[in-house]
Amino acid sequence: MQLSKSGSAPGTKARGFFATGAYIVRRETPLALYKGLGAVLAGIVPKMATRFASFEAYKGWLTDKKTGKTSVGSIFVAGLGAGTTEAVVVVTPMEVVKIRLQAQQHSLADPLEAPRYRNAGHAVYTIVREEGVSALYRGVSLTAIRQATNQGVNFTAYQEIKKVAIKWQPELTELPSYQHMVIGLISGAMGPFSNAPIDTIKTRLQKSPGEPGKSAIQRIAWIATDMWKTEGSRSFYKGITPRVLRVAPGQAIVFAVYERVSKIIETLAVTSTDDHYSE
């Protein structure tokens, strides 16, 4: 939806979520809905590891050493830092490859029609060979802004809603997993709404090779201006529905798993310490 020019002609509306899905299936078969999955699968584990490890590190540095407490502002800053870190380390190359694969308009029903990029590995090889390693980091500034605002909002909302949930249920020593999932679902949905225009411009920037003589800022400005003139202000929010439907449930699962794993690690650490002293 972010790449589509539908709705740019006068008197026409942009193709919606379900219509876009049906159009892709009709033109390229249902398998086309899974384009770019290899890049996502390759990047998801290091992305989450980088996100939570860096967040905990930044949070530790920002925690008041006297009280042991972390302010809301510090949580937000730690989230910004975590988002920026994951954008530079993992997310930008992963998204460049994913978007290039998704932008190919070949029919997967025809085995004789060879796409430009066969899979994620071939896409990385081709991009680096033809455009250089720097091409994998095209749009890194916008990706960093998107991820930073995503995780700043995400972690702050999650921590604050979690505090309220604990306050309402003082009888619980810890929240059940389903509540962590609900809180993660809510906090996860907030990020996409906070930076949809940035994400749409980023997607269009990463789709195509760089243009000689044009800086990243010039290309970003041209894309934004062209979108505004030809497709209107609503074009900056193209794809917001599938993005929320993807991000929010993902965050629900991630936070529930994170909380459970953290608790297990804490328990093992305490047990190990007790065993050490007993010796």
Every domain of the chain and the residues it spans? 23-105+116-138, 157-269
Render pLDDT for 243-272 as a digit per residue (tens, 0 to 9).
999 999 999 999 999 999 988 988 887 776
Quote the pTM value.
0.85
Residues 6+ apart with CB under 8 A from 76: 152, 153, 155, 156
Determine the residue type at 250. Answer: G
Render pLDDT for 173-227 as a digit per residue (tens, 0 to 9).
889 999 999 999 999 999 898 899 999 999 999 987 777 778 888 999 999 999 9
Render pLDDT for 105-130 as a digit per residue (tens, 0 to 9).
776 556 556 788 989 999 999 999 99
Render pLDDT for 38-96 as a digit per residue (tens, 0 to 9).
999 999 999 999 999 999 999 999 999 889 899 999 999 999 999 999 999 999 999 99
The answer to whether the beta carbons of residues 253 and 181 sit under 8 Å apart is: yes
| Unique residue bearing structure tokens 């159009």 | 23
Determine the residue type at 30. Answer: P
